[in-house]
Structure 1
């Protein structure tokens, strides 16, 4: 069963990502760029799912191996980059270059999730007795 703190994190993550996504689309529209190109929807969805999955996995291992939490977090970040290179990079490189809108389509949700994960996990670690 999901703990209240984990559910709250996922709700906050979803809310923040929704606001960032809307702002991202607004900026693209104002720059007169296509708003749903560059796999932007897939990027936001995958980053949310990966951040949630990684957090739940880390939380499940938290009490047993709390000293390994940082390594689990880094492995999760590595997994996110692997997904980027398998799912997004080949599409972005089809024309031989990666445009700033392609880079932003992946990096903005990735950075947003990363910041929220770090804040949440650091609070969890600071509240833990060793």
Structure 2
């Protein structure tokens, strides 16, 4: 897979990891006889995937121009995800006055999967920048 450029590798693995994660998520819900598509689970996977893709693409695009600020931009991307959480998901999750563990997992499972990939690929991108500047 090293022949593919970094964003292509990221998008491919993002899709693969989120599809597997979604499948396992739904399988666990099904095995416990819980509602499969409640708690905005599909929206959560889609929103997290889109935000992760956009954030990584922007980091990659500005990697040379803003290489000393990549860490701050990365943290800004995480902050942006939390803004989306509080705008798109939190009102629905708290509408009954309580956020259940199922609601929490519906958002944070894909969030953590995306965060792991973003962190890994941003680190890889920075290492490539460092190696190319030697």
TM-score by length of 2: 0.92
Aligned to 1:26: 27
Structure-1 separation of matches of 2:117 and 2:6: 13
Structure 1: segments with no counterpart, 5+ residues: none
**Structure 1 outlier segments of 4+, above 6 Å:** none
CA RMSD of aligned residues (A): 1.0
Structure-2 separation of matches of 1:50 and 1:109: 11
Structure-1 separation of matches of 2:23 and 2:50: 18
Residue 41 of structure 1, CA deviation: 0.2
Query: Number of paired residues?
Result: 128
Tell me the SS of whatever aligns to 2:11.
helix
Aligned to 1:7: 8
CA contact (8 A) 2:60 2:125 kept: no
Cα shift readout 1:58-106 (whole Å, capped 9, x = no counterpart): 1111001100000100000000000000000000011110010000000
Structure-2 separation of matches of 1:37 and 1:81: 20
Structure 2: segments with no counterpart, 5+ residues: none
Residue 4 of structure 1, CA deviation: 2.4
CA contact (8 A) 2:6 2:125 kept: no
Structure-1 separation of matches of 2:104 and 2:66: 35
